[in-house]
Every structure is written in structure tokens, then in C-alpha cells.
Amino acid sequence: MSETAAFALPAFHVMAKPTGAQCNLDCAYCFFLKKESLYPGSSFRMSDEMTERYLRQTIEAHRVPEVTIAWQGGEPTLMGLDFFRRAVMAEKKFARPGQRIRNTLQTNGVLLDAEWCRFLHDNDFLVGLSLDGPRQLHDVYRRDKGGRGTFDKVLRAALLMQQHQVEFNILCTVNAVNSCHPLDVYRFFRDDLGTRYLQFIPIVERDNPTGNVEGTRLTDRSVPPEQYGCFLIAVFDEWVRHDVGTTFVQFFDGVLMSYFRGRSSLCILQPTCGEGVALEHNGDVYSCDHYVEPLHLLGNIARTPIGQLVSSAEQRTFGQAKSATLPRYCRQCEFLFTCHGECPKNRVLTTPDGEPGLNWLCTGLKAFFTHADHSMRLMAELLRSGRPADLVMDILAREQDEEIRRQLFLRAGRNDPCPCGSGLKFKRCHGNRAA
């Protein structure tokens, strides 16, 4: 048996980019647009032959009942609806009896119309819609090629999807600007848009003038670490008091799983990487969506099946590097069990004792983990005892009442009415030390 076969993963995740880096918008922080320079002169369209090859190989390599096919970009809707109709037909052709194929589509929403929405609904697509908050925050960076804000078009897509009952998540970047307005962002999604599923994606953007290799300097669109911590804490406090079980914030759920099960399903919170690769329009496979650069090219599916590339020794080395390169500062951190140094792409700092490899977001992450620890422990305990995590909201409300009561007693003067409500002076009631 070959080494690859011996280590074949039963399931893996592929982010397929049928249009490569091409997009119909020009968002200021998009790391992928610059990747066009990896394929000079390319048409940036995945051929039907390549699409079928990808689907067949991926479905065949999975040894689990459900396969997720993830379409991403660039902007995948530029392929046109017929491309996706053909893809869904091919999936049905390749699926084994009893095997379920689930499609996901990450989009800026600009091209979505009623016909798209009917297709997405009828074929059970889960859509990730990129939206950075209310208009004044979204339009700062998410602009079209003419420099115009795109809020109206994206909002229209969200409303259309709601109308057609398309299941969708909001993908919201957390950047230098909207991170200063956590509750405006969160309440806009929850109250104005009625969104139940939210993903917050911190922008940690390194300069990259050539598009091939990331530089070391961070752009000023990147979220400052302390601000990222404040953002997470403010949203968490709102969520954990009012919305557990009704609004789902991917990062909070991911952290909770580390407390509850000892392992998160989010790659950034796992000890190793390597289970999710990126597939370019021409069949090239890279180690991760965040490492589409020549150094991390694993091969091409026209020559090597995707299952082999994902299970290759090279990919395992890439995956294990996440823990192998952790600085001592992280290895000794009390939150290592949930953080694991977050995404290696963001490890651009040196530790206080001068070791390289510390995550840009560390200060903010640590502040958040410290702040959320008590509530996370409560929720994990509830889940372990078979009760729903949303009971945490009652527990925290009781704790808050008790704390307010404690403070009232601490601050009561001898001649004030007793905070217990007896009608007596404090000194004659609970303030009477002899009582």
C-alpha cells in the first residue's frame, strides 16, 4: 500500500474557484484578486471537463455519507447559472447510492436574481453572502470597479434569498473600520436583516505587491488586535445574554466546541491544518485557501487525483507545521486548548521574548478568551449534562442580579433604607452587625 493510500483522509474540504481570482467587485482588502498574476493570460474559467474531473474525484475519494462541494472565488457566479446546473447534474451522476451532496456558494450577491435564487433553493445550496454591516460600514471597503459602494446590491440579494427561502450565512469581515462599531454591526444583522447565522472574519492583510508571496507589513485596513478583542467581547456580551440558541456566531460556537468536546470544527481553532485545500480553475491544488502561492502548490488534478493530493506527505507536513512552529509563548498559554495559535497566516509578530510566530490577533484573542471563559464553561457544563446551552442566559441574568444586590448592600449607608426592602433603616436591619 502506498504511503498516500495508508493516510487517505475519509473526508476533506475543497474550496473550488471556478473563476480563479476573477471578481466583478474590487473590494479594497480582497487578498484573492491579486492572485490573478499567478496565471497570466488565463481565461479564468473552469472547463466542464475539469469540473467533472474535480467532482468525480472528490465524491469518489469521500468515505462518508455526506460530501460538501464548496464554490468560492473570486466570484463564482460569474460562471453563469448554467455552469452550476451542469455541476449539479454531474454530482448526481457521480454520487454513490445513499451519498448526499451538499453545495455551498460564497458570493458577493451582486448577480443573484430570482432565477438564481430558485435554483439555489431547489438544489439546497447553502450560500455565504459577504456583507460588512450597515451601509456606512459596508461601503468603506466593499466597492465595485467604479469605486461605488455595493451595499444596495448586496442587501437586495439578501432580501431575494429570504423571499425564496435560500439558506444563507452572512460573512462579515472585521476590519479597521467596522471593528469600532461591534453592536451596530451585530444588531444590523440580527434586527434589521433577521440573520441567524454569522461568520466574522478578521482582516489581517499583509502587503503583497506581486500577488505571489505575502510581505511582512500589514496594511492599515487590517483590524488592530486590541480592537478585534473589543469587537468580539461586545458582540459576545450581547449574544450570550440574549441570543444563544437563536443567533449562531460561528467563532463563538467554534470556541464552545473546544470547551465541550475538546476540539473545534473550525480550522483556525484546531491544532493542525491540512484538511481543506483550494482548487484553482485550471485544476491546480494548493494547501489552503490562504496559501494560494507557488510554494504551496500540491499538484494538478489532471495528473494526480485530488484525494491523493490532500493526503500527500507534503500536505501533512503543511498541516503539522501549525503546531510544530508554535512559539513557547503559545505553548504555555492557558488558552492554547482553544486557540492553538489561530491561523498560521496571521502569525507575523514576535513574542515578548523575541521568538517569531506569534499571531497578530493574540492580544485581542486573549482578551476575548479571558472574558468569555466563565460563560463558555457554563455552556459546556450545560451541554455535558444534557441541557441546552441557552440556559446560560438565565444563569448569567441571576448572577447579574446577585451582583447588583451585593453592590447595593456594600454601598448602603447606616441610615439608608435597607436594600432588602424591609422598610427599616440599614443599621436596624442587614446593616446591624449584631443582628
* Residues involved in catalysis: 289
Q: Which of 176, 193, 256, 267 binds ligand SF4 (CB under 6 A)?
A: 267
Q: Which stretch binds ligand SF4 (CB under 6 A): 33-41, 45-53, 240-248, 328-336?
A: 328-336
Residue closer to ligand SF4 by CB (options 281, 345) is 345
Of 61 and 365, which CB lies nearer to ligand SF4 in the complex structure? 365
Choose one: 101-109, 181-189, 332-340, 381-389; the region binding ligand SF4 (CB under 6 A). Answer: 332-340
User: How far apart are CB 341 and ligand SF4 at their closest, in Å?
Assistant: 5
| The CA-based dihedral angle spanning residues 54, 311, 72, 26, taken in that order and rounded to the nearest 10 degrees | -120
Q: How far is the CB of 131 from ligand SF4 (least distance, A)?
A: 21
* Phi, psi at 135, each rounded to 5°: -45, -50
365 binds ligand SF4 (CB under 6 A): yes
Number of residues that bind ligand SF4 (CB under 6 A): 22
CA dist 56 and 94 (Å) reads 6
**Taking CB under 6 A as the rule, does residue 32 contact ligand SF4?**
no
Q: Answer yes or no whether residue 202 interacts with ligand SF4 by CB under 6 A.
A: no
Binding mask 283-312 for ligand SF4 (x = CB under 6 A): -----x-x----------------------
Q: How far is the CB of 254 from ligand SF4 (least distance, A)?
A: 11
Query: Any contact of residue 335 with ligand SF4 (CB under 6 A)?
Result: yes
Pick from 339, 383, 389, 392 the residue near ligand SF4 by CB under 6 A. Answer: 339
190 vs 345 by CB, closer to ligand SF4:
345
Sheet of 100-107: strands edge to edge? 248-249, 197-202, 167-174, 126-130, 100-107, 66-71, 13-16, 276-279, 284-286, 297-300
- Residue of the chain from 72, 106, 108, 359 that contacts ligand SF4 (CB under 6 A): 359
Q: Which is nearer to ligand SF4, 133 or 229 (CB)?
A: 229
| Least gap, CB of 319 to ligand SF4 (angstroms) | 8
Residues near ligand SF4 (CB under 6 A) = 267-268, 273, 276, 288, 290, 322, 329-330, 333, 335-336, 339, 341-345, 359, 362, 365-366
